[in-house]
Structures are given as C-alpha cells and as structure tokens.
Chain A
C-alpha cells in the first residue's frame, strides 16, 4: 500500500534557510537547495519550502528557488508562502516545483483553488491551513498566523477539497514550536472529514510523536522541521523506528552498486 511520508520543511528568507543548520557537513548549509538535496539523499519522501521573504523581490526569489531545486532534488517538492495568483502558481510549477501551497490567498478568494486545480490539476494544489483551538473547535488564521479568519478549520478543509484542492497541509498553531507533539485531535478531525491526503504539522519533538500522528490521527504525511534540522534525529533513524512500529514507510535504500 501507499507509504506514509516524512517531509522536512525549510523556511526560506531571501534565498537563505532561516534557521541555521550548522551541524550538517554541507558546503553551504544556509542554501535551501543544498539542504534539500541532502535530505533527498538521506531518505526524505518530499520537501516543503516555505518562503517568508517579505519584499517586492519575492516572486523572483521563489521562482529561482524552484528552478535551482529542480537541478539537484529528485523527490517531489512543494513551494509555499505568498502564492497569490494563477500566474504565481504557473511560474513556480513551470520552473520545476511539483506542488504549490496556498494559504491566505485561498481564504480571501476560494475561487483561486477551483481555477488553479482546473488549469494545473488537483494533485499540485496544496491548501495550507493554520488552525488554533477555540471553544471546542479550531479557527483558521491567515497572514502567517496573525489574523483570525473567523472560519472553522474542518469546514474550510471540506470546502477546499470540494473546490479542487489535492492535499491539506494542516498546522496546529497551538503546538507549533512546542515540541509537545502534533495536535492529534485536530489532525484526526480533518483526516476524517476529507478524502484527500493530510500533512500534519506543528509540534514534532520526538519519534513517538511521529508514530502517534500516523497511528492515532491517521495522517498521510508528517511535516518535520527542527528535530531534523538540529540533528536530534536522522531521517534514517526516524524511518527505522516507524517501520519497527508497523507503519508503512518507504525504507531507506542501501546502495546496491
């Protein structure tokens, strides 16, 4: 059957990785492309780049990132952050990205999801949802988690699927950065409500957290940042552990040459 995916996430600002990844023996550990290629070799199943550049140069940096990555990375990769229009999406996909992740722009104009999936196919349209617990449910936030959108996360996920989204990238704002584990209730609620893959994000602090989000919340993929970036675990170690827990994970190849 299809494997659960482990997806390192790289935050990028003006073409550089935001959090230094100094432990790695790379020529340039601040270069997102070098780092993504490293994770490809290490056994990552996909890569997500989140570009947080705040300037009018943004479009150029995102396109350049897409095209440089295409030369060195041979697993699927997604680019998100400030994707606002069909033209933005076309530029990034044309330059080699497999998927785009859309957040604020989709909340403001849900029709963008329909338009984009009609033109490029559902498989490349990822809807990123930043959600925060509120009175027994979860509220969607936009603009990098700064502005409450006043809509329910579960309802929004369902609507996005209906409009043609191919995947949901679900971040728990309550857990993000805490290392207390993924929000299993939130993840499970979304997984149970839609029939497209759900990538869980926010809160991974150890390997049991990854196991739980796959087994208890039934997520299709887990987004992981700091525990890999800071070398707490290698991808290989994480995958071996998850396989030992009976989870269907793509094993890391030993060279057969």
Chain B
C-alpha cells in the first residue's frame, strides 16, 4: 500500500475519536480501525485508550491486535501508545490482580502512591530528559499536558524514560525507545502543545528517503 496513513487502533477502550480529530486538524489521514491488516499496512500506528489494564490487554489479544502491534514494532514503524496504550506495552499490570501486558518494555504498572488525589487528573508539567527526542520538537522543558490516570509505569530500564512529572512522587510521563513512543498524558486533550506532539509523531511516518513506511 503506497498511501500514507496513520492507524488508530480501536479495541473498545473508550472514546478515541478525539485522537483522530486532532490529527485531522493537522491534515493527516488517520484511520480508526479494528483490523490487524489495516494496522500492519499503516505508516505509523497509535494505540490510544482509557480504561483498565487487564481489559485493554484482553481486548487486544482477542482481536488479534497484539501480534499486529509487535509486528509493527519489529518493522521499526513509528508506534505511539497513549495513556493505557503506553501502560500495556509493559510486562505487568497490577490493576485488580497482577496480569501480563505486551512485554515490549520491561517493568510493571503500579497504582499511584503518596498523599495525592487519585486519579491524577488535570494539567501538569513535564521535565524532559531526552532533549533531542523528535516527538518533543518545539516543546519546551516544563510545558504542561493533560493527565487522567490512576496507575503509572515503572520501567526496569530507566534509559527509556523521556520525561518525568511531579505528582508528590515523580512519575514517568513518557518513554521512548527507537521508534516506539509512549505518553502517559493525553496529547489530543492538551491544546496546541498536544497537537504539536501528534504532528511531530506523524512526521516520523515519512522515512529519511521522504517516503512513507
């Protein structure tokens, strides 16, 4: 398939239309899909979502989307997980009882701790660790994004963390390894700063030869 498009995976985890709308404002062809083949043929893939870890993983597996995601990542196509879409990339979740994730990254997703309101909901700033990250192009250190979550990933390799956020304790707000990106916050709900991140991600769908993956 020669046409460039971004696949947004629909796995019955809440409203995902806003991600597509956000990409539409940047004139990007984004297709919401449940079809593993449409995912595999995309130039880049976004896994959005809100909800519980266990349900998210179960839905991905029963729809055959877990293998499509692994294949996309193996092919080094740009992949972006948002919120629960970031968390399921890890080995284990602890929401309800301990359960397995997709295991793209080592580490576990834990409930937030400290004397704080849960969910962590609202605008919070990020401290960027990977300053040269393509996804943070044009984003300033300390810029704010919109968060809604009760759980947070703790990676076994601290080297994948690209930004941190303070919520009494510091939590990871994004991860990055090769072409795999994860955001704990919601770029589609973070106004101009969030739209810029989605645009930065979409730009990665064009490879160095100027062709879509």
Taking the closest CB of chain A, its distance from the CB of B53, in whole angstroms, is: 13
State whether A5 touches B191 (Cβ < 8 A): no
CA distance A76 to B124 in the complex (A): 14
Q: Is the CB of B51 within 8 A of A74?
A: no
| A: interface residue count bin | 20 to 34
Complex Cα distance A252/B75, Å?
39
Q: Which of A243-257 contact B (CB under 8 A)?
A: 250-251, 253, 255-257
A/B pair count, beta carbons within 8 Å: 85
Central interface residue in B24, B121, B148, by most chain A CB within 10 Å: B121
Task: Categorize the interface residue count of chain B.
Answer: 35 or more
Report A-chain residues with C-beta under 8 Å of the C-beta of B117.
Answer: 195-197, 220
A3 & B119 in contact (Cβ 8 Å cutoff): no
Contact of A1 among B21, B167, B195 (CB under 8 A): B167
Contact between B21 and A70 (Cβ–Cβ < 8 Å)?
Answer: yes
Q: Which of B1-9, B64-72, B138-146, B152-160 contacts A (4 or more CB under 8 A)?
A: B138-146
- The answer to whether residues A2 and B119 also contact, given A74-B189, A76-B189, A121-B51 and a CB cut-off of 8 A, is no
From A21-29, A52-60, A93-101, A222-230, the one touching the partner chain is A93-101
Query: Closest A-chain residue to B16, C-beta based?
Result: A96
B123 at the interface (CB under 8 A from A): yes
- Are B190 and A74 in touch, CB under 8 angstroms? yes
User: When the two chains form their complex, are residues B191 and A3 in contact, meaning their CB atoms are under 8 A apart?
Assistant: no
Contact B122 A2 (CB under 8 A): yes
Contact across chains for A250 and B123 when beta carbons are under 8 A apart: yes
Given contacts A1-B167, A220-B122, A256-B138, contact A121 B50 (CB under 8 A): yes
Majority DSSP secondary structure for residues of B touching A: mixed
With contact pairs A74-B194, A96-B18 given, residues A45 and B189 touching in the complex (Cβ less than 8 Å): no
A1 partner residues in chain B, CB cutoff 8 A? 124, 166-168
**Given the complex, which residues of A lie within 8 Å of B190, measured CB to CB?**
74-75
B193 contacts chain A at the CB level, 8 A cutoff: yes
A96 lies within 8 A of B17 (CB): yes
Judged by a CB distance under 8 angstroms, whether B22 is at the interface is yes
**A255 and B140 alpha carbons, distance in the complex (Å):** 11
Smallest CB separation, A184 vs chain B (Å): 20
In-complex Cβ contact of B22 among A74, A195, A221 (8 A) = A74
**Which one, A75, A167, A220, contacts B191 given CB within 8 A?**
A75
B15 at interface, CB cutoff 8 A = yes
| Contact digits for B11-30, partner A, Cβ 8 Å, 1 yes 0 no | 00011011001101100000
A166 neighbours in B (Cβ, 8 Å): 119, 121
Most buried by B among A2, A71, A94, A256: A2
B-side contacts of A255, CB under 8 Å: 192
Q: List which A37-86 residues lie within 8 A (CB) of chain B.
A: 40-41, 45, 70-71, 74-76
* B130 is an interface residue with CB less than 8 A from chain A: no
Check A123 for interface membership: any CB of B closer than 8 A: yes
Kindly provide the distance from the CB of A16 to the nearest chain B CB, expressed in whole angstroms.
23
Residues of chain B with a CB closer than 8 A to A40's CB: 191
* Chain A residues whose CB sits within 8 angstroms of the CB of B166 once the complex forms: 1
Question: Is A122's beta carbon under 8 Å from chain B?
Answer: yes
Chain B 159-213 interface residues, beta-carbon cutoff 8 Å to A: 166-168, 188-195
B189 touches A2 (CB 8 A): no
Query: Can you name 24 A-B residue pairings with CB atoms under 8 Å?
Result: A1-B168, A2-B123, A2-B167, A3-B122, A3-B125, A5-B122, A41-B191, A41-B192, A70-B17, A70-B18, A71-B21, A74-B191, A74-B194, A74-B195, A75-B146, A121-B51, A123-B148, A166-B119, A195-B117, A220-B122, A221-B122, A250-B144, A253-B143, A256-B138
Given A1-B166, A196-B117, A255-B192, 13 other A-B residues pairs in contact with their CB atoms under 8 A: A2-B122, A2-B167, A5-B123, A41-B191, A71-B24, A74-B188, A74-B189, A74-B190, A96-B15, A197-B122, A220-B122, A221-B122, A251-B144
Seen from chain B, the residues whose Cβ lies within 8 Å of a Cβ on chain A are 14-15, 17-18, 21-22, 24-25, 50-51, 117, 119-125, 138, 140, 143-144, 146-148, 166-168, 188-195
Name A's B-contacting residues (CB within 8 A): 1-3, 5, 40-41, 45, 70-71, 74-76, 93-96, 98, 121-123, 166-167, 195-197, 220-221, 250-251, 253, 255-257
